[in-house]
Amino acid sequence: MTDVTAASPAAAQLKGGSLYERGERTRRRHTAERRFRALGLAAVTFGILALFGLLGSILYNGTSSFWQTYVTLDIYLDPAKLDKSGNRDPEELQKLTTFSYAPLISAAMAAKMEGAGIEIEGLNAKAAAEIVSKEAPATLRNAVLADPSMIGETVTFELLANGRVDGYYKGRVTMASAELDRNVSPQQLMLADALKDAGALSTRFNFAFFTAPDASDTRPEAAGLGVAILGSAYMMLIVLALALPIGVAASIYLEEFAPQNWLTDIIEVNISNLAAVPSIVFGILGLAVFINYVGLPQSAPIVGGLVLTLMTLPTIIIATRAALKAVPPSIREAALGVGASKMQTIFHHVLPLAAPGILTGTIIGLAQALGETAPLLLIGMVAFVREFPDAPPGGLFDPAAALPVQVYNWTQRGDPAFVERASGAIIVLLVFLIVMNGIAILLRRRFERRW
């Protein structure tokens, strides 16, 4: 067979030169190899950069929402304006709207400016008072309603500053942009600076962001996540209470009992298909069945919870089945061998051993459900909700918001301050997700057994 060897390309190359020298073709092949490697590395770098870009942009835009500018004013709660009859009757005070409180803030601001010797050219008293948020009279009113004995005294209040003034200290608003802005003037910003020097204006951590309800379009500074966090928590509660037992029961049946027949096949195919159905279709289902047909209220956590339960079920079933499968047959055989029934074997021995895996899968499913937005848009969670829902179970039927939907809601509003709030809300959402996934990883590390 010598003639064949002589005709092969390798032999031809050998004729051309030494094995120690790379020929033209080898060099080309090695360049191609390097190029391919570089492409691969570029792809990995792109993926990691995308992650950092994504998180970086959210952090860059959102961290400032955790800080808030407040104006400290000594307000004289004038009895002549707040309580004309003088009997501090709570019902009469209730009738008084926030309009009656606004002049008190104007007066206090004028007094403050005079006391601190601040004078700014071209700034009238009305404009000066506007650096305080439009939400401030309501804050004042609530404080007075809670404690009518304050009327007639001078009380020190820490009031929210207007969103633009707040933005000025976060770099969103500048003197130049204020010139063009109808909602704020450079004079007002100068006043804010002067108040800051006088110690009456300060920026501090924004606790209200986590507890306050949403606020209207014109007062981004007052908008908070309280209702949204509570609404999301309610929905997670429902998902946990429904999806975990149903999912585990279904998995036990499919993994341990189901006979090989057409019904089992249909169920299996169904579950894998449901896992891939677009989330918005579940929203349509919720709207058509739970709201339109059963007649559950719109925007209620119960509907959101039910829809998210149906979405989470496939995830939990898949995780649970994997966990059940991982329990070695020897455990089952040992239990059956000492006379346990099949049901006892599963509930007393297999299920406890699979529990860490099931819990991990459940937490990951819950984390997915927590970030889900599209189906909630369709069942009315976009509504503007300011009232906190009641305690469960009644509160499950009250209107509420949800964390991811609140983000969407804020991005749809005009004021750029809401973009900052939306990014802040995303950070809160991501922190929740990190905590949940962290717990899942810990559980897996701590309790997972390998046989």
For other proteins, the binding residues in 68-97 under the rule CB under 8 A are none
Task: Give the DSSP H or E segment for 69.
Answer: strand 67-76
Cβ 24 to other proteins shortest distance, Å: 15
Q: Residue 226 Cβ, how far from other proteins at the closest point, in Å?
A: 19
Q: Which residues contact 295 (CB under 8 A, 6 or more apart)?
A: none
Question: Hey, which residues between 318 and 347 contact other proteins (CB under 8 A)?
Answer: 341-343
Per CB under 8 A, the segment of 15-23, 103-111, 190-198, 405-413 that binds other proteins is: 405-413
Select from 6, 11, 12, 41 the one that contacts other proteins (CB under 8 A). Answer: 41
Task: Measure the CA–CA gap between 100 and 159, rounded to whole angstroms.
Answer: 17
Contact 314, 272 (CB under 8 A): yes
Interface with other proteins (CB under 8 A), residue from 169, 234, 282, 418: 282
How many residues belong to the chain?
Answer: 451
Residue whose C-alpha is closest to residue 220's, from 182, 269, 165: 165
The residue type of 133 is S
Nearest distance from residue 419's CB to other proteins, in Å? 6
Cβ at position 343, least distance to other proteins in Å: 4
Residue 201 or 271: the one with the smaller Cβ distance to other proteins is 271
Find where tokens 């046989």 sit. 451
**Binding span for other proteins by CB under 8 A among 97-105, 198-206, 364-372, 443-451:** 364-372
Q: Which residues in the 384-403 window bind other proteins by CB under 8 A?
A: 393
Give, for 360, the enclosing helix (H) or strand (E).
helix 351-371
CB of 413 to other proteins, least distance (A): 12
Using CB under 8 A, which residues numbered 3 to 22 contact other proteins? none
Closest distance of CB 287 from other proteins, Å: 6
Indicate whether 407 belongs to the interface with other proteins (CB under 8 A). Answer: yes
437 touching other proteins, by CB under 8 A: yes
Among 11, 273, 447, 449, binds other proteins (CB under 8 A): 273
Which residue in 59, 116, 194, 267 binds other proteins (CB under 8 A)? Answer: 267
Cα(first)–Cα(last) distance of the chain, in Å? 55
Q: Is there binding between residue 278 and other proteins (CB under 8 A)? A: yes
Judge whether 248 and 358 are in contact, CB under 8 Å: yes
Distances (CA, A) of 258 to 228, 249, 306, 322: 41, 12, 26, 16
CB of 2 to other proteins, least distance (A): 21
Considering only residues 222-261, where is the footprint of other proteins by CB under 8 A?
Answer: 245-247, 249-250, 252-254, 257-258
Our finding on whether 272 is near other proteins (CB under 8 A) is yes
For residues 162 and 185, the answer to whether their CB atoms sit within 8 Å is: no
**Total residues at the site for other proteins (CB under 8 A)?**
87
Q: Cβ 295 to other proteins, closest distance in Å?
A: 6
User: Per CB under 8 A, does 429 bind other proteins?
Assistant: yes
12 vs 16, 17, 24, 80, 426, CA distance in Å? Answer: 7, 9, 13, 110, 65
Residue closer to other proteins by CB (options 227, 367) is 367
Among 68, 185, 315, 423, binds other proteins (CB under 8 A): 423
Are residues 426 and 418 in contact, defined by beta-carbon separation less than 8 angstroms? no
User: Judged by CB under 8 A, does residue 50 bind other proteins?
Assistant: yes
Which of the stretches 111-119, 131-139, 196-204, 371-379 binds other proteins when contact is defined by CB under 8 A?
371-379
H helix or E strand, kind and range, residue 168: helix 163-169
DSSP notation for 109-165: HHHHHHHHT---TT--HHHHHTTB-TTHHHHHHHHHHH-GGGTTSEEEEEEEBPHHH
CA 315, 318, 324, 327 torsion: positive or negative? negative
For other proteins, the closer of residues 45 and 142 by Cβ is: 45
Specify the residue, 222 or 407, whose C-beta has the smaller distance to other proteins. 407
Please list every residue from 301 through 320 that binds other proteins, using CB under 8 A: 310, 313-314, 317
Nearer to other proteins, 331 or 419 (CB): 419
Check: CB of residue 93 under 8 Å from CB of residue 77. no
Residue 235 dihedral angles phi and psi, to the nearest 5°: -65, -40
Q: Burial, 296: exposed, middle or buried (Cβ in 10 Å; 0-12, 13-18, 19+)?
A: middle
